[in-house]
Structure 1
Amino acid sequence: MKPLRILAIGSSGSTHVAGRVCCFAERGHHVSLLTDMVVGLEGVTELTPSAPPGQDQWIATAARLLGRLVRRDLSGPADMARLMLDFRRKLRQADADIVHIHFAYSTWAWMAAALGARPLVVSIMGGDILFKEQGSPTPRGIALTKQLLGHADLITSKSNFLIGVLDDLGGYGEKAIRVVWGVDPEVFKPADGTALRAAKGIPAEAKVILSPKILTPFYNIHILVEAMAKIVASVPEAHLVLTEYGADPAYRAQLERRISELGLTQAVTFVGHVTHEQMPAFYSMADVAVGIPASDGLPQTLLEAMACGVPSVIGPLDRYGEIVRHEESALLSQLDPASLADAVLRLLQNEKLYNHIATRGRTIVEAKANFPREADRVEQAYRHLSAAGKTRYRPRLGILKDVALYWLRW
């Protein structure tokens, strides 16, 4: 079939976005990514809107003249207008059959809606619509996200729970389909982690507890550190491995101090930034994975651990029930050190439970969270939406005005 021209909008620094766009490039489609930074994704044309000196200079000149009249510095609005024009230029340059936004709460996403980009697919991720649970959304930002969702031709959601949130926001669930995305079982699979343990100085006999989450307070890694005192008291060979993707330096320093106070320095290893490509090896090195944020959609790290045959301890969120069951395919724990320690110890000390959860987890991923199969479904949706042909961009001035006001914080 004829390759599609796909324009994705999202952060190239997101492993989720990078994996999705590269997948469609590998399938032979012409993929562009409108993003905040260029990282060199193979097979993908990365487009970064900018406002370099000299480009659309007439706007800067007009702003200076007007600024003199009103006695106000208008260089900020001028730069914003130049950036918006370059965004429009990049949008047209892509000449896309499909525009696909990954993460709804962002200025570039709203700009696509403001310029009337269609056919338009929006993939929500959780934090972009869980306004009461995550981030610090502004009233205008929430309103712009709702306008984007209303403009979308199709919305993909990782869970039925998030589709319910879409309905609560304004009935947008009726245009949504559940696409878990998931992981590729041929990439994330059980392997021998002996060499990696040796490379990281972790004893071969250690019972490794892995935190694959972003190293920030949101993910409650301090609770896991506190739990380690009880875990090590029962299983002296227990060893905590902390990945440092997106690490908050102040939070890392706080954790280091507490680890020292608890006498756990020899039982904890910080392993620095771990790339997505390295993660299968880190899961395979682990005995247990832990992820306990207070708010979540459907965590990718849970699916990755399951695919690698590593049991997970997760928080007590009902929404996880769409993919796992307590004591069947994961262990759920309350968010306090004692409860978390008990859950981890159950897995380390109960071989029958451990093996059952490990086996069941891998089976679930293969059946329900298989990335290549989910990509097939999205590709079919692309072709269905693009069958009507490309639509001329029809700017929506009301949304454009709100984007500008949000940007300028007016």
Structure 2
Amino acid sequence: MNIVYLGWGHHIHLRRWAEYFAKRGERVTVLSLTPPGSELPKVRMIPLVCARRREALLKAEIRLWLRLLRADIFHVHWAGFAPLAAGIGHCPTGITAWGSDIYKYPSYSEQVQQSIRNALKFARFVTCDSYDLKSRIAEISGRQDHVHVVQWGVDTDLFRPGLDTTAWRERIGIHGATRVVYSPRSVNEIYNIDKVLEAFARLTYFRPDTVLIQKYYNADPARLQKLQELAARLEIVDRVKWVGEVAYEDLPALYNLADIMVTVPHSDGTPMALLEGMACGVPPVVSSVPSVLEWIEAGRNGLVVPAGDSDGLFQAMKRLFNEESLGREMVVHNLRVVEQRASQNVSMQKAHLIYRRTCSP
């Protein structure tokens, strides 16, 4: 099978799909709208030279590459890019929605809404990572028979409990019996990192042995500075460890370093950070957004708080530190959930079946 992807070639979500199918022996090409980053084994990365030019030129370049590559499947990652595939006609086109591309749909202009709506309606297949997203896509496109829930998939051979965290402890400067709260989402406003900082500041009065690890990949410098200034006002500068880009293979040990994980956005699909943390045995505190609640049952395998509620977040973190047996029970449950519902092999086998059906006459 000859698969051509369109999207952000540097992004781990797209790279997971491409790498998986390349390892299966499929011919895989990524048409990248950004500098594609490091090479992937057996994957051809093609930066689109018209990515920052007029849409008509970009469409023409995409059409040319599809003709030259003789694709069997053209798979667009991110619904906002799907209109670029409209009318190409060289091969069946599929779309993977990532979350905010659908949740932000009401804020788009009527012209953009129309183009996305048509692209979703006439795609041969659409995938998404939650049933909530599926229902939103059905509302927009007017159909759901071609929409499939397919997770990005966690590599459970890589993301697992019990990994050595020594290198991370030395890198960040964490010593002894220090306890760790890990906030793996970026500093974009939607993720409520200001509320995470406020809640953590209160936690340090009860648990002065804690530190917060806060990711800030792809950060807006002004937003990052604002949050760092907030940390200074809250007098937790020495308790917050800011971590930027992390190599994919280094992520599992970072999760293993954590005693608690927090991800509390206002809006979300199914966050890979949540599933990866669950696979590594980290009890989660999450916000009550529909896609996340498809995975987390409050009190059983995680604690749930309203998005933007710093007091609720503080109380949840405090409870997990005070009731360690509860956290251990959550870990046991979550390892089973990930293996059954979120492993990469299970998810990509489902995607492979969709591809095969799409290519069948």
Normalising by the smaller structure, the TM-score range is: over 0.9
1:81 Cα offset (Å): 4.2
1:169 is aligned to: 140
1:13 Cα offset (Å): 2.0
Indicate conservation of the 8 Å contact 1:291/1:314, yes or no.
yes
Paired amino acid for 1:142: Q
Distance in 2 (CA, whole Å) between partners of 1:162 and 1:311 is: 25
Superposed, 1:338-377 pairs within 5 Å as 338-377=311-350
Go from structure 1 to structure 2 and tell me whether the alpha carbon gap of 1:262 and 1:318 turns closer, same or farther (over 3 Å shift).
Answer: same
Aligned to 2:29, the other structure's residue is in SS state: strand
Distance in 2 (CA, whole Å) between partners of 1:337 and 1:239 is: 17
1:132 Cα offset (Å): 5.3
Aligned to 2:79, the other structure's residue is in SS state: coil
Q: Are 2:277 and 1:300 equivalent residues in the alignment?
A: no
1:72 is aligned to: none
Go from structure 1 to structure 2 and tell me whether the alpha carbon gap of 1:51 and 1:144 turns closer, same or farther (over 3 Å shift).
Answer: closer
Superposed, 1:41-52 pairs within 5 Å as 41-51=40-50
Q: RCO (CA 8 Å, sep 6+): is it higher in 1 or 2?
A: 1
1:182 Cα offset (Å): 2.5
Superposed, 1:2-41 pairs within 5 Å as 4-36=1-33, 37-39=35-37, 40-41=39-40
Indicate conservation of the 8 Å contact 1:49/1:90, yes or no.
no
Indicate conservation of the 8 Å contact 1:194/1:204, yes or no.
no
Unmatched tracts of structure 2, length 5 or more: none
- The TM-score, its normalising length taken from structure 1, stands at 0.83
Q: Share of identical aligned residues, percent?
A: 30
Distance in 1 (CA, whole Å) between partners of 2:146 and 2:55 is: 32
Paired amino acid for 2:171: A
Distance in 2 (CA, whole Å) between partners of 1:116 and 1:183 is: 33
Aligned to 1:210, the other structure's residue is in SS state: strand
Distance in 2 (CA, whole Å) between partners of 1:43 and 1:155 is: 25
Superposed, 1:193-232 pairs within 5 Å as 193-232=165-204
1:248 is aligned to: 220
Aligned to 1:332, the other structure's residue is in SS state: strand
Q: Are 2:327 and 1:328 equivalent residues in the alignment?
A: no
Distance in 2 (CA, whole Å) between partners of 1:176 and 1:51 is: 30
Indicate conservation of the 8 Å contact 2:154/2:342, yes or no.
yes
Of structures 1 and 2, the larger Rg is shown by 1
Aligned residues: 357
Distance in 1 (CA, whole Å) between partners of 2:55 and 2:356 is: 35
Paired amino acid for 1:358: V
1:80 Cα offset (Å): 5.1
1:129 is aligned to: 102
Distance in 1 (CA, whole Å) between partners of 2:56 and 2:299 is: 55
Unmatched tracts of structure 1, length 5 or more: 53-75, 389-410
1:144 is aligned to: 115
Q: Are 2:345 and 1:379 equivalent residues in the alignment?
A: no
Paired amino acid for 1:24: F
Distance in 2 (CA, whole Å) between partners of 1:85 and 1:168 is: 30
- The TM-score, its normalising length taken from structure 2, stands at 0.94
In angstroms, what is the RMSD of aligned CA positions?
1.9
1:138 Cα offset (Å): 2.2
1:82 Cα offset (Å): 3.9
Indicate conservation of the 8 Å contact 1:244/1:274, yes or no.
no
Indicate conservation of the 8 Å contact 2:153/2:348, yes or no.
no
Q: Are 2:233 and 1:258 equivalent residues in the alignment?
A: no
Deviates more, 1:291-300 or 1:256-265: 256-265
